């Protein structure tokens, strides 16, 4: 079920909320958890009626591994259990997401076409597996105790609002909320508004701009007019941000409505003045997952051993440092790339990001801080912009052809009637989308409140305006949900 669809908005969500709040919280948190688990499984089964059984098996297996690994921190057995958990979860991802990609590449190397199995990725498996690994590893590390209650583990792994596209919540962030949480009217209202903001981001900006993106990237890359090619990357920057940040807002909002605190996933990534900073603001929970479950273990194990080995061999310190950085960053960004999609384009995209991050480690800042920030911002936007051509094209040949069209190297025209049509029909979404990527309103609001003699009054007036505006936007978003029907999220396919 899609959380922007009419059945979700008008049936699933209201019914869930009604029954959830009818269960007395203080006495029956367990009952609320049971209810949430049942509706979450129903939510998943709506889209995946068969593979929900596989998901249930994965839940039980991970829960059992969590039980076995409890109290075994640092032991050989504990390490083996963690290894098995990683193997099962990553193995599942491999079969459904990467098997055909691997077969294609083996076939390419052997010079003959191998038969592909054509498995499609179960909804949300990429997010599910990362959270399942966090469940077993957090217990192994002693950060949390294992739950003997299968219900709690199941709910953590399958709760409907974060199941299909995150945010990736680590078990140590969620565990206490399974045992005690509060639902308040303020929390519910905050959640509802957050949900409405997310819905508007998705239905008004992302979905509308998505038409431009789909159309441009479906056109033959070599014959694409120059302006259309530039517009394609720009529009995709806006679309993917509002699509995923919109979903994250909706998930956080839904969480609040049910009394859960879900971590933030975005913090205005397009204001970053470095690629490193950009990735600290984009899909924050994925970055945190990679840091805690891959980057640090790699650092404390192989990376340090490598440094010691190189030091023993009397390799120059700076060279050793560079090799170490290349190794850890290469591993992380290869994985980040391939996590987003089983194509070489995503791998290249990941490695380009990793290369810029290493470069930033050695880059000396300019003495003029303002100029340094301005140039940093321009370069970060340029990296985000141009790499969009790589991930939106099916192969590297098409990506190069697309770059050629951007600079008029394919003998393509500068502009076409279709280009003008995009601007004429979608300019409003492009302009609003671009402005809303930056914290302009937050800054204006801050100034108005701080510069006023009666800040309380200003706050009340602004709150009133915000409420009315959001209500109007919410109604328009709902109308778009009716008009457009099912509109998939981009990260759903990752």
What are the contacts of 34-40 at 24+ separation with CB within 8 A? 34/151, 36/155, 36/159, 36/160, 36/258, 37/151, 37/154, 37/155, 37/158, 37/159, 39/12, 39/160, 40/155, 40/158, 40/159, 40/160, 40/163
Q: What is the DSSP string of 367-380?
A: SSHHHHHHHHHHHH
Asked if 267 is part of the footprint of other proteins (rule: CB under 8 A), the reply reads no
Asked if 303 is part of the footprint of other proteins (rule: CB under 8 A), the reply reads yes
Among the listed ranges 2-10, 300-308, 420-428, 441-449, the one in contact with other proteins (CB under 8 A) is 300-308
- Residues in region 193-222 near other proteins by CB under 8 A: none
Min dist CB 244 to other proteins, Å, is: 22
Cβ partners under 8 Å of residue 415, min gap 6: 225, 226, 227, 228
Asked if 299 is part of the footprint of other proteins (rule: CB under 8 A), the reply reads yes
Asked if 107 is part of the footprint of other proteins (rule: CB under 8 A), the reply reads no
Min dist CB 339 to other proteins, Å, is: 17
Min dist CB 277 to other proteins, Å, is: 7
Our CB check for other proteins shows the closer of 173 and 221 to be 173
Asked if 181 is part of the footprint of other proteins (rule: CB under 8 A), the reply reads no
Q: Which residue of 280, 416, 434, 487 would you call a contact of other proteins, by CB under 8 A?
A: 280
CB-based burial of residue 62 (10 Å sphere; 0-12 exposed, 13-18 middle, 19+ buried)? buried
Asked if 335 is part of the footprint of other proteins (rule: CB under 8 A), the reply reads no
Among the listed ranges 56-64, 171-179, 323-331, 419-427, the one in contact with other proteins (CB under 8 A) is 323-331
Give the Cα separation of 303 and 323 in Å (integer): 9
Give the Cα separation of 68 and 386 in Å (integer): 47
Show the tokens assigned to 61.
């297996």
Q: Which residue of 97, 194, 307, 340 would you call a contact of other proteins, by CB under 8 A?
A: 307
DSSP class of 493: G
Give yes or no for a contact between 158 and 124, defined as CB atoms under 8 angstroms apart: no
Asked if 296 is part of the footprint of other proteins (rule: CB under 8 A), the reply reads yes
Backbone torsions φ then ψ of 168, nearest 5 degrees: -75, 105
Asked if 324 is part of the footprint of other proteins (rule: CB under 8 A), the reply reads yes
Q: CA Rg, the chain, in Å?
A: 24
Asked if 276 is part of the footprint of other proteins (rule: CB under 8 A), the reply reads yes
Give yes or no for a contact between 429 and 209, defined as CB atoms under 8 angstroms apart: yes
Element housing 247 (H / E): helix 226-257
Q: Which residue of 26, 27, 314, 364 would you call a contact of other proteins, by CB under 8 A?
A: 364
Q: What is the DSSP string of 276-343?
A: HHHHHHSSHHHHHHHIIIIIHHHIIIIIHHHHHHHHHTT--HHHHHHHHHHHHHHHHHHHHHHHH-SS
**Residues 387-426, mask of contacts with other proteins (x by CB under 8 A):** ----------------------------------------
**Residues 119-158, mask of contacts with other proteins (x by CB under 8 A):** ----------------------x-----------------
Q: Which residue of 72, 181, 321, 445 would you call a contact of other proteins, by CB under 8 A?
A: 321
Q: Which residue of 311, 326, 371, 472 would you call a contact of other proteins, by CB under 8 A?
A: 311
Our CB check for other proteins shows the closer of 261 and 292 to be 292
Applying CB under 8 A, the residues found at the interface with other proteins are: 141, 276-277, 280, 291, 295-297, 299-300, 303-304, 307-308, 311, 321, 324-325, 328-329, 357-358, 361, 364-365
């Amino acid at each position: 079920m899609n959380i922007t669809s009419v059945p979700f908005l008008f049936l699933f969500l209201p019914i869930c909320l009604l029954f959830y709040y009818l269960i007395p919280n203080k006495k029956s948190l367990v009952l609320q958890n049971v209810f949430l688990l049942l509706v979450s499984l129903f939510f998943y089964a709506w889209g995946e009626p068969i593979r929900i059984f596989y998901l249930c098996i994965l839940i039980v297996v991970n829960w059992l591994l969590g039980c076995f690994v409890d109290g075994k921190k640092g032991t050989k057995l504990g390490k083996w259990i963690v290894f098995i958990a990683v193997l099962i979860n990553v193995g599942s991802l491999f079969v459904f997401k990467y098997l055909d990609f691997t077969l294609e590449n083996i076939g390419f190397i052997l010079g003959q076409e191998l038969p592909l199995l054509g498995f499609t990725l179960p909804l949300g498996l990429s997010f599910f597996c990362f959270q399942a690994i966090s469940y077993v590893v957090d217990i192994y590390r002693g950060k949390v105790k294992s739950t003997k209650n299968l219900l709690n583990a199941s709910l953590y792994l399958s709760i409907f609002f974060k199941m299909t596209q995150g945010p990736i919540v680590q078990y140590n962030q969620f565990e206490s909320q399974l045992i005690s949480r509060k639902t308040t009217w303020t929390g519910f209202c905050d959640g509802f508004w957050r949900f409405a903001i997310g819905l508007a981001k998705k239905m008004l900006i992302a979905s509308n701009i998505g038409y431009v993106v789909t159309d441009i990237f479906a056109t033959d890359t070599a014959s694409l007019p120059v302006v259309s090619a530039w517009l394609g990357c720009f529009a995709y920057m806006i679309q993917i941000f509002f699509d995923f940040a919109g979903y994250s807002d909706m998930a956080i909002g839904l969480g609040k409505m049910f009394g859960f605190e879900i971590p933030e996933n975005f913090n205005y990534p397009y204001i970053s003045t470095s690629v490193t900073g950009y990735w600290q603001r984009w899909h924050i929970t994925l970055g945190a997952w990679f840091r805690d479950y891959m980057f640090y273990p790699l650092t404390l194990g192989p990376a340090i051993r490598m440094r010691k080995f190189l030091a023993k061999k009397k390799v120059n310190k700076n060279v050793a440092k560079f090799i170490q950085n290349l190794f850890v960053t290469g591993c992380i960004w290869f994985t980040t790339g391939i996590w987003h999609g089983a194509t070489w384009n995503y791998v290249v995209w990941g490695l380009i990001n990793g290369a810029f991050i290493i470069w930033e480690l050695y880059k000396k800042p300019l003495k003029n801080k303002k100029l340094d920030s301005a140039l940093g911002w321009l370069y970060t936007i340029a990296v985000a912009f141009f790499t969009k051509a790589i991930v939106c094209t099916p192969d590297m040949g098409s990506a190069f052809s697309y770059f050629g069209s951007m600079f008029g190297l394919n003998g393509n025209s500068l502009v076409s009637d279709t280009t003008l049509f995009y601007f004429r029909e979608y300019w409003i979404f492009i302009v609003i989308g671009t402005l809303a990527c930056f914290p302009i309103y937050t800054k204006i609001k801050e100034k108005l409140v701080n510069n006023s003699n009666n800040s309380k009054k200003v706050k009340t007036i602004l709150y009133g305006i915000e409420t009315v505006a959001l209500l109007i936007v919410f109604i328009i978003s709902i109308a778009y949900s009716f008009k457009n029907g099912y509109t998939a999220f981009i990260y759903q396919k990752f």
